[in-house]
Structure 1
Amino acid sequence: MVEEREVKINKTDPESGYMYRTGKPEGFFYLDHRTVDFKYNIITDVHITAGNVHDASPYIERLERQTERFKFAVEAVALDAGYLTASICKELQAKKIFAVIGNRRFQSTKGLFPKWKFTFDKANAKYVCPNGQDLVYRTTNREGYQEYHCDPKICKSCPMLESCTRSKTHKKIITRHVWEESKEWVRQNRLTKSGKMLYKKRSQTIERSFADAKELHGLRYCRFRGREHVQEQALLTAACQNMKKIANHLARLA
């Protein structure tokens, strides 16, 4: 029996989406996915989606739209942790764009070893556990994750078993995405001097742009119903913000 997922629909505005995220308000919302330039904090793209659309979903499409429309030669991007997906990392690496993305370390089950305790041996395509035993490749699932399995016969007598797995069959499985190397490339970028500077700059640009839109331009609330109408509100807001930015920069040059 396949369990159906419950989808909440707003009868007042069916095009909005129900958002539930840790540390965020819960309810029906629209999301503003925007891009700003590094130097002047000018908004270069605004895209509205329902609140239940993941931040990463429209990203590559919006990036390509800007490069095609404005002929931008994008050298680097800085994104928050919501964009740290294997597909985005792979695309940015393929486009030779220096990518810096915030890290989100997922909490492991209390009392068990976190994944980083298992060392990946690229040369031999295997993981090595904290006790020095191998987890070898078995298969790749439909989601693109390679599965590395331990040998239960060895693990059942391991002194670290209770800190490794709670499986009744003493089996431990570590998964690794086929594009995991691209994510590791992004993580290394974040630790470089340029990466740290870029990520720090992000809070001074895009986060400030969002705050300005909400606090000074009324974008905290939708004035209309329907995604297209909310898109119009967001575009007009961005236009006002950009005019202010451009005027301020021109005044400094005068």
Structure 2
Amino acid sequence: MFPKWKFHYDSEQDRYICPNHQTLTYATTDRKGCRSYKSNPEICSSCPLLENLTKSKNRQKVITRHVWEDHKKRTDKIACLFQEKTSTKKRKEKIERSFADSKQLHGLRYCRLRGKRNVSEQVLLTAACQNMKKIATYLANGALFLHL
């Protein structure tokens, strides 16, 4: 079976073009936001590529395309450009380490009080303590470099 990427999408006329240069026109959109494009079964029945295109009994090829597919492709390209192994490694070192420290060193594994307001207060105080420790470490390292 030919995969979807072997079909060309014509955004101006909102249709797909099959490898045999026939069009699949827009049929309907379902509740999930997938647009269906269907071929003409009369034309497809005489197509030499029919056995590679579809196995349906009515000899009609159906392709689905999500309404946000253009945006998904664009964000995937951007994500591939910026996502490197080093950024994942830095995330483990910085962000996840911060959560581990708050649980292990600052008692955030269990909340001392109940209620949304009290828990958020404890989380904010813990984050403030961690930020103060970072600032103190930064200033201490900066002061060492000034004396050298």
TM-score bucket (shorter structure): 0.5 to 0.7
Matched residue SS, 1:169:
coil
Distance across 1 between alignment mates of 2:51 and 2:133: 60
Shift of 1:210: 5.2
Tell me the SS of whatever aligns to 1:146.
strand
Q: Which residue of 2 aligns with 1:125?
A: 14
Structure 2 unpaired stretches of 5+ = 144-148
Instruction: List 4+ stretches of structure 1 deviating above 6 A.
Output: none
Q: TM-score, normalised by structure 1?
A: 0.40
- Which residue does 1:134 correspond to in 2? 23
Of 187, 199, 215, the residue aligned with 2:83 is: 199
1:177 counterpart (61, 66, 69): 66
Return the match for 1:155 from 37, 44, 53.
44
How far the C-alpha of 1:132 sits from its partner, in A, is 2.3
Q: Using the alignment, how far apart are the partners of 2:45 and 2:136 within structure 1?
A: 70
Q: Root-mean-square deviation (CA), in Å? A: 3.7
Q: Identity rate of aligned residues, in percent?
A: 40
Give the letter aligned to residue 152 of structure 1.
P
Residues 204 and 162 of structure 1, relative CA distance in 2, 3 Å threshold:
same
- The corresponding residue for 2:146 is none
Structure holding more helix per residue: 2
Distance 1:245 1:168 in 2: 67
Q: Which position in structure 2 is the counterpart of 1:187?
A: 76
Number of equivalenced pairs: 134
Kindly tell me: are residues 235 and 167 of structure 1, through their superposed partners in 2, closer, same or farther at Cα, counting changes over 3 Å?
farther
Summarize the Cα distance change of 1:147–1:216 in structure 2 as closer, same or farther, 3 Å threshold: same
Change (3 A) 1:249 1:148: farther
Which structure has the greater CA radius of gyration?
A: 2
CA offsets, 1:57-93, max 9 Å, x none?
xxxxxxxxxxxxxxxxxxxxxxxxxxxxxxxxxxxxx
